[in-house]
Chains A and B, each alone.
Chain A
Amino acid sequence: MIDKSLVVFFTASYPSPEKTVEFMLTASEAGADVIELGIPFSDPVADGKTIQESYVRTLKNFRVKQVFDIMKAFREESDKPVVIMSYFNPIYRMGVRDFVERAYSSGVDAMLVVDLPYDEAEEYADICSSIGMDTVFLAAPNTSEERLRAIDELSTFIYLVSTYGVTGERKEISPLAFEALKRAKNICKKPVAVGFGVSKADHVRQLIDAGADGVVVGSAFIRIINEKGGSAVEDIRKLTLNLKSGILGSY
């Protein structure tokens, strides 16, 4: 799923389910290799202001099951891999098995639960594996070698958080990210994608040059949607093309 890949994050149903599908298709056509679909949550402790704002606005009129409708509509036109990114409570509340089954049958390829470290994930991981849903776990610059190995075991790719902090655009990639990437690449067998704070083509190139198998960009896209709402399509295309040039080396 991840090999010099650009992963693009969208908030589900923001500003509407239809628009989300359109954004996902636009990004896919412009060069996104994987789409990450975030489920809005009332208490997103791992997210910075930009994504928080998209969640607050979406929650005024949102049901979790819209995520499955978005997926079905997207699958009619694209087979690009989709990873769901969620906090645990909406999944727990629906029932883990129920949620994973519905996600799987609507075409979701993998799930990443931000606040479910692997120590708490035994039952969840068993359910996912019995259904055929791939799982992705977070790693951070302070994750021990022992934990990295366990995360590697359970993940289809590793989502490495670039810094000590929440999601959000940053001027520079933290030096922590490069150290952590080197360590993760040494220890893990699975591909490593780096996210949090990645927002420019230059960031993308630096990380790919440093050995990242993928990069995840979220807040830079969501900021555009916060500003332009449904008419963000053209800007999303441009940003995707631009970020992709950081991978292709042609910018």
Chain B
Amino acid sequence: MRFGEFGGRYVPEVLIPPLEELERAYNDLKEDEKFRRELDYYLRNYAGRPTPLYFAENMSRELGVKIYLKREDLLHGGAHKINNTLGQALLAKYMGKRRIIAETGAGQHGVATAMAASLFGLEAEIYMGAEDYDRQKMNVFRMRLLGAKVTAVESGSRTLKDAINEALRDWVESFEYTHYLIGSVVGPHPFPTIVRDFQSVIGAETKRQILEMEETLPDAIVACVGGGSNAMGIFYPFLNDKVELIGVEAAGRGIETGKHSASLLAGSKGVLHGMLSYFLQDEDGMMLDTHSIAAGLDYPGVGPEHAFLKDSGKCRYVAVNDEEALKAFALLSKKEGIIPALESAHAVAYAVRMAEEMDKDSIIIVNLSGRGDKDMGIVMEMMA
């Protein structure tokens, strides 16, 4: 399945049967009453759903608009990632796989995968770029404590993209007994659809909650975009509504410096990790090194559905740089007593920027995709 021209299944032939197997299993299970009830049970009782839609009084007063925060930061593990890992780990279990592999950048998806694997009694191996492995020692330790094997990837740029490469290489050898639990709305079909569906619980709840609280839909929803899973999750149930949907990419040190990860804004069409989408690449199609202060946004590509939503004009994509994100990080901490993940701080920063141009009492919902505990080290260094 494709999203317009984007997506597809650009993989070596050997991966076609496992992808077909996954697609069949998913199509059967997503309608399966028992599967849905079981997933719902764990989302509630293990992960902590539903998450609150919190009216941020102080920020709202300061900005002159109504700011709501969708509190994915309150989930088990500290980020939206668990919505997807519980769904896919349960799927893997139903498929009879005994092992799970995943890639991780900062370690959030790795931790959420390790949790789900431990919960469902599955073996887990997490691939992490050697660079990230050194920067994120605490999350490496958390994953090990949760029973996962963590493997540092020394190849290529030694970051998230290389961790995905290595996970794919593992999967080519192990697909008979292993599920690849990909961490965002990226990869070959059916991954972008599966991850989006499991993350859509965010948008579905948000819609119910805002209608209850305001008796109207919001004017805008803002979410950060790395691979794009928290954004797809909150956007998807609103795609046919009159709501402005804004995805915020990482401008890093500034798009003009080349040190950023804004693949939708500054990239070009290409094929990597099984999908046709937008990528940061050189003239010869080699992927470029990327940068963001938020490790979870530090990826040269983006999910194919976002590429489609951008080109079709259904969603708007913007970018926020490291400095602005840090300011928003501090602002939200101080004003609301909520420390956001640096990824989510990009969305907060854009909400602040756009509030200036919106009518009083406009409603902006920010997807607060994660909490900032994991970022204390980096922020302490930056603010010193």
Residues of chain A at the chain B interface (Cβ within 8 Å): 41-46, 48-49, 52, 56, 59, 62-64, 88-94, 114-117, 119-120, 137-144, 147, 151, 161, 164-166
- Nearest A-chain residue to B12, judged by Cβ: A46
CB distance from A89 to the nearest CB of B (A): 4
B283 near A93: Cβ-Cβ < 8 Å: yes
CB distance from A49 to the nearest CB of B (A): 8
B8 near A164: Cβ-Cβ < 8 Å: no
Interface residues of B in 27-81 (CB under 8 A from A): none
Q: Give the CA-CA distance A45 to B166 in the complex, in Å.
A: 7
B11 near A93: Cβ-Cβ < 8 Å: no
Q: Give the CA-CA distance A156 to B40 in the complex, in Å.
A: 51
CB distance from A183 to the nearest CB of B (A): 14
Known: A64-B285, A94-B285. A142 touches B17 (CB 8 A): yes
Which of these binds chain A: B167-175, B198-206, B256-264, B290-298?
Answer: B167-175
Q: Give the CA-CA distance A139 to B274 in the complex, in Å.
A: 17
Collect the chain B residues with CB atoms within 8 Å of residue A46's CB.
12, 169, 172
A165 near B172: Cβ-Cβ < 8 Å: yes
- Nearest B-chain residue to A151, judged by Cβ: B13
Tell me if B369 counts as interface (CB < 8 A to partner A): no
B284 near A115: Cβ-Cβ < 8 Å: no
Residues of chain B at the chain A interface (Cβ within 8 Å): 8-14, 16-17, 155-156, 161-162, 165, 168-169, 172-176, 268-274, 279, 281, 283-287
Partner of B16, one of A44, A92, A117: A117
Collect the chain B residues with CB atoms within 8 Å of residue A43's CB.
156, 161-162, 165, 272-273, 287
Collect the chain A residues with CB atoms within 8 Å of residue B176's CB.
164
A114 near B12: Cβ-Cβ < 8 Å: yes
Known: A41-B286, A45-B12. A89 touches B272 (CB 8 A): yes
Give the residue among B169, B284, B286 with the most A Cβ atoms within 10 A: B284
Collect the chain B residues with CB atoms within 8 Å of residue A166's CB.
169, 172-173
- Nearest B-chain residue to A47, judged by Cβ: B169
Partner of B285, one of A52, A92, A116: A92
22 pairs from A and B in contact (CB 8 Å cutoff): A42-B156, A43-B161, A43-B165, A43-B272, A45-B169, A56-B155, A59-B286, A89-B270, A89-B271, A92-B270, A115-B274, A117-B11, A117-B12, A119-B16, A120-B10, A137-B13, A138-B13, A140-B14, A151-B13, A161-B13, A164-B172, A164-B176
CB distance from B306 to the nearest CB of A (A): 19
Q: Give the CA-CA distance A62 to B286 in the complex, in Å.
A: 10
Q: Give the CA-CA distance A123 to B286 in the complex, in Å.
A: 22
Collect the chain B residues with CB atoms within 8 Å of residue A94's CB.
284-285
Q: Give the CA-CA distance A90 to B273 in the complex, in Å.
A: 14
B13 near A139: Cβ-Cβ < 8 Å: yes
Collect the chain B residues with CB atoms within 8 Å of residue A44's CB.
165
A93 near B287: Cβ-Cβ < 8 Å: no
A93 near B285: Cβ-Cβ < 8 Å: yes
- Nearest B-chain residue to A147, judged by Cβ: B16
Q: Give the CA-CA distance A41 to B161 in the complex, in Å.
A: 13
CB distance from A36 to the nearest CB of B (A): 16
Q: Give the CA-CA distance A93 to B288 in the complex, in Å.
A: 14
CB distance from B152 to the nearest CB of A (A): 14
Collect the chain A residues with CB atoms within 8 Å of residue B269's CB.
92
Known: A52-B155, A117-B9. A93 touches B274 (CB 8 A): no
Q: Give the CA-CA distance A45 to B272 in the complex, in Å.
A: 9
A140 near B13: Cβ-Cβ < 8 Å: yes
Collect the chain A residues with CB atoms within 8 Å of residue B16's CB.
117, 119, 143, 147
Q: Give the CA-CA distance A94 to B284 in the complex, in Å.
A: 7
Partner of B281, one of A49, A89, A142: A89
Taking A88-B271, A144-B17, A165-B173 as known contacts, 7 extra A-B pairs with beta carbons closer than 8 A to each other, sorted by chain A number, are A43-B287, A45-B168, A94-B284, A139-B13, A164-B175, A165-B172, A166-B169
